[in-house]
């Protein structure tokens, strides 16, 4: 006969022994007096490293300090929102100022935290505080090969911003024009197809105000432009977009000469011919504001401007 100490170890009992138990072939012996202490004794917890505990305490204090600053920043933004409501200043979106802030922070940045992490953190801060000043939504032209615009928009505007995908730039711009969206995110302009939206953009009512991504990434060539119902604001290092018109025989070289004669340095991104005329999309170095005297001698429409992307992390 096999004996077990009580309490009975049911979990360790083999199936064949259950039958033996029923037939009285398995017996019991008294449990030791210290049985409960032997079985209930908790496992020893390793002693905390005093140095590690001190570092965690320091991190807790830094978290509190950062939270205090975020609350102070939010309070300032709330006051700005109140002033904007009183003066009817319109959209709080300022892509140029956001780019300038990021450049300043990256210029002073050092340490183990990556540059891309700094940009992502502050992009979330920007959008969280933009939301304090009013509802913000984005219409995204995400179709076929332009589906990457949705990912670029999510990276730029954060996870909390409502994004609505549309099947074409025209639909996204229509949502923007009717007030159903705060901005439209469109694929990089091209000469034909859905990328030809720049040819009919209703500037200056709508303007290009930002380029995505703001941090250059050599591993990806996709890009998108942000259009909003407000003029672009300068960041200190910008590029502007012009839609130029000339005769049907005009070449890229002739458009470049037009720009040079007007005192503008830039390049032609796209050239199309339609209805007996030539349309060119020119990217100009520097910020060109509405009413710039250099535009007077050109048959040109200012489409907007955007901050020059900053360098990413070095692999």
8-state DSSP, 215: B
Q: Indicate the helix (H) or strand (E) that contains 252.
A: helix 252-261
19 has pLDDT over 70: no
Question: Strands, DSSP E only, in the chain?
Answer: 2-5, 26-29, 138-141, 163-166, 183-187, 207-212, 224-228, 238-247, 266-274, 277-285, 300-307
Q: Hunting for tokens 């953190």 — which residue is that?
A: 121
Instruction: Report the C-alpha gap between 164 and 166 in whole angstroms.
Output: 7
302 has pLDDT over 70: yes
Residues sharing a CB contact under 8 Å with residue 192, sequence separation 6 or more, in sequence order:
272
- Whether 164 and 135 have beta carbons less than 8 Å apart is answered as no
- Whether 236 and 290 have beta carbons less than 8 Å apart is answered as no
Residue-averaged pLDDT of the chain: 86
User: What is the pLDDT at residue 300?
Assistant: 96
Give the residue with greater pLDDT, 200 vs 38.
Answer: 200
- Whether 280 and 250 have beta carbons less than 8 Å apart is answered as yes
Distance of CA 60 to the CA centre of its chain: 27
The model's pLDDT over 304-314, given as tens digits with 9 standing for 90+, comes to: 999 999 988 87
User: What is the pLDDT at residue 192?
Assistant: 83
The model's pLDDT over 152-198, given as tens digits with 9 standing for 90+, comes to: 999 999 999 999 999 999 999 999 999 999 999 999 998 888 889 99
Instruction: Report the C-alpha gap between 224 and 231 in whole angstroms.
Output: 18
Instruction: Report the C-alpha gap between 231 and 234 in whole angstroms.
Output: 10
Give the residue with greater pLDDT, 107 vs 41.
Answer: 107
The model's pLDDT over 93-108, given as tens digits with 9 standing for 90+, comes to: 999 999 999 999 999 9
Instruction: Report the C-alpha gap between 260 and 197 in whole angstroms.
Output: 26
Q: Where are the domains of the chain?
A: 2-40, 93-307
Give the residue with greater pLDDT, 131 vs 85.
Answer: 131
The model's pLDDT over 214-263, given as tens digits with 9 standing for 90+, comes to: 998 755 567 999 999 999 999 999 999 999 999 999 999 999 999 999 99
Stretch 79-88: mean pLDDT, rounded?
Answer: 72
């Amino acid at each position: 006969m096999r004996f077990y100490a009580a309490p009975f170890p049911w979990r360790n009992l083999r199936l064949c022994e259950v039958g033996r138990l029923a037939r009285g072939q398995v017996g019991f012996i008294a449990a030791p007096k210290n049985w409960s202490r032997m079985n209930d004794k908790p496992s020893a917890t390793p002693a905390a490293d005093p140095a590690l505990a001190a570092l965690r305490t320091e991190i807790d204090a830094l978290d509190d300090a950062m939270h205090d600053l975020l609350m102070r920043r939010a309070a300032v933004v709330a006051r700005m929102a109140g002033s904007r409501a009183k003066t009817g200043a319109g959209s709080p979106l300022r892509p140029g100022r956001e780019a300038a802030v990021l450049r300043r922070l990256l210029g002073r940045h050092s340490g183990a935290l990556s540059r891309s992490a700094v940009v992502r953190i502050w992009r979330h801060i920007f959008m969280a505080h933009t939301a304090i000043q009013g509802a913000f939504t984005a219409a995204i032209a995400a179709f076929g090969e332009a589906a990457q615009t949705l990912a670029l928009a999510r990276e730029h505007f954060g996870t909390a911003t409502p994004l609505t995908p549309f099947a074409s730039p025209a639909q996204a711009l229509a949502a923007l024009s009717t007030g159903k969206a705060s901005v439209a995110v469109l694929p990089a302009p091209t000469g034909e197809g859905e990328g030809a939206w720049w040819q009919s953009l209703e500037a200056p009512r709508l303007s290009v105000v930002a380029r995505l991504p703001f941090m250059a990434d050599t591993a990806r060539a996709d890009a998108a432009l942000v259009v909003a119902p407000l003029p672009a604001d300068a960041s200190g290092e910008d590029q502007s977009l012009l839609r130029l018109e000339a005769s049907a025989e005009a070449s890229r070289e002739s458009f470049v000469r037009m720009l040079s004669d007007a005192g503008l340095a830039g390049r032609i991104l796209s050239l199309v011919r339609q209805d007996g005329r030539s349309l060119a999309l020119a990217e100009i170095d520097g910020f060109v504001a509405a009413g710039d005297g250099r535009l007077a001698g050109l048959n040109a429409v200012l489409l907007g401007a955007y901050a020059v992307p900053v360098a990413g992390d070095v692999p």
